[in-house]
Structure 1
């Protein structure tokens, strides 16, 4: 359909009337920042039409955001030239596969009082990355969790290799490369084999032969978190970031900022991410979620999801690694 190098210098919040001239200006900037190249003028015209329709939706939504009726804002992203169905095709590449049970389960302690807010972005070294056109979100959730917990335990920042997992933590660990997987199976792989660094084993966004040559980090195991938000909150507060699976078939296509609370997502999870904190804004409690769509999507690669409603399947399969 198109070739994409997804390097966005900014996300545009659309607040203008949709004249042809203004749409043309926004389209030009979109092409410049996204670096998208289409196969033919006909394909580009089709994408422009879709882009225009998405701009209308963004403008209508942001009007009610400015009126204080919703808690999140939309904007132009690298996905704004896709139909909702095409965006879902992209999301569904990930295919979060059935969970593997860990040897430990973390449950909420009734005697533990969690802090009012936690933000591991301020306390642990986190790396925002981009999975590109490969359905490998599970590997990014895995590396993000291990990177964070390794820093918490050792005070050493290390960027780990998703490609190592894509190539090596394959079907015997319940994973299928660029066609989906499960971070628990990937945790098992790292427990048994360790994982290399990003610099030694760089990301290619396609599955290849296993070529792990060194081990930067090993883990002792991983813990499932009991499937309720209180347990996840305590785990995030007392242990560190937690890998979670969510339903990404909501407003994430054009999400810009704020607390996502659109009421449309379900418990049918299709995307692996990382819960790195929580808090509250203007009476809206939220989770801080680290995504794998690049630092120029959302809030510098993160988004906030409404908390205490089991939104988007967040309680389905949370877990974290043990260093």
Structure 2
């Protein structure tokens, strides 16, 4: 499994210090209300959460830059990242694929939920990233990245069958990543800080397809892997 380079205390922008005129980090933000988060999708029985996490964070960051939300193909990754497919993969590996090969639109390469023959066509590529930022510094750095830059891909230990609703805050998980997802919101409710995480288990799971999980406790290892893509400046 590929491992991100250690770029030190982040967030950085394109591996450089971010511009000094970035807005202050808000106390809460929900990127769904900004029109840059695609609808919740369903991976089915294929263990392709890594692909949905990678594709979803690219969708959101490109939409934030361009003003246009386009859905890209998770199936392309499942078929073409041969070492991962419907096995347990990594979001970083998925983003490296996007960096080197690019993404096709989901309308032309729809999801089937099983690994098949790679039908990659470079002429149909509609998105490519320039780099990958890994966030170090724990959940405060993650909040800064979400607040300033947009949704971030994360890994966590989660048994989807045990969550129904509410803010997950309990001992029944470890810090070993078993599921890849996307943080789209953070905030505070009744004095408890939380994240809202977009899953890929369909809209009938959890809270309309989302997980709320306590923030600033590294609950379920949520600060172990935190990534977002970068793009060439226009």
Partner of 2:163: 255
Q: Which of 212, 218, 224 is 2:134 aligned to?
A: 224
For 2:8 and 2:75, how far apart are their aligned partners in 1? 27
For 1:102 and 1:159, how far apart are their aligned partners in 2? 30
| Greater helix content | 1
Cα deviations by residue, 1:222-248 (Å, 9 ceiling, x for unpaired) = 100004001100000011111000000
Is 1:299 equivalent to 2:201 in the alignment? no
Per-residue deviation at 1:256? 2.5
Per-residue deviation at 1:297? 0.9
Q: Which of 63, 72, 75 is 1:160 aligned to?
A: 72
For 1:113 and 1:257, how far apart are their aligned partners in 2? 31
Per-residue deviation at 1:204? 1.0
Cα deviations by residue, 1:289-311 (Å, 9 ceiling, x for unpaired) = 00000011111111110001011
Partner of 1:100: 4
For 2:45 and 2:161, how far apart are their aligned partners in 1? 15
Partner of 1:66: none
Secondary structure of 2:89's partner? coil
Secondary structure of 1:233's partner? helix
Is 1:187 equivalent to 2:91 in the alignment? no
8 Å Cα contact 2:24-2:148 kept in structure 1:
no
The structure-2 alpha-carbon separation of the partners of 1:168 and 1:294, relative to structure 1 and needing over 3 Å to count, comes to: same
Q: Gaps spanning 5+ residues in structure 1: where?
A: 1-96
Secondary structure of 2:41's partner? coil
Partner of 1:242: 152
Q: Which of 82, 86, 93 is 1:170 aligned to?
A: 82
Q: Gaps spanning 5+ residues in structure 2: where?
A: none
Per-residue deviation at 1:210? 1.0
For 1:170 and 1:187, how far apart are their aligned partners in 2? 14
Moved more, 111-120 or 140-149: 111-120
Secondary structure of 2:172's partner? coil
8 Å Cα contact 2:30-2:185 kept in structure 1:
yes
Partner of 2:29: 118
The structure-2 alpha-carbon separation of the partners of 1:164 and 1:225, relative to structure 1 and needing over 3 Å to count, comes to: same
Per-residue deviation at 1:113? 4.7
The structure-2 alpha-carbon separation of the partners of 1:102 and 1:181, relative to structure 1 and needing over 3 Å to count, comes to: farther
Cα deviations by residue, 1:174-220 (Å, 9 ceiling, x for unpaired) = xx110111111111111111101111001111111110221011111
**Cα root mean square deviation, aligned:** 2.0
Secondary structure of 1:256's partner? coil
For 1:322 and 1:125, how far apart are their aligned partners in 2? 17
Partner of 2:175: 267
Per-residue deviation at 1:114? 2.1
Q: Give matches, 1:51-70, under 5 Å.
A: none
8 Å Cα contact 2:196-2:211 kept in structure 1:
yes
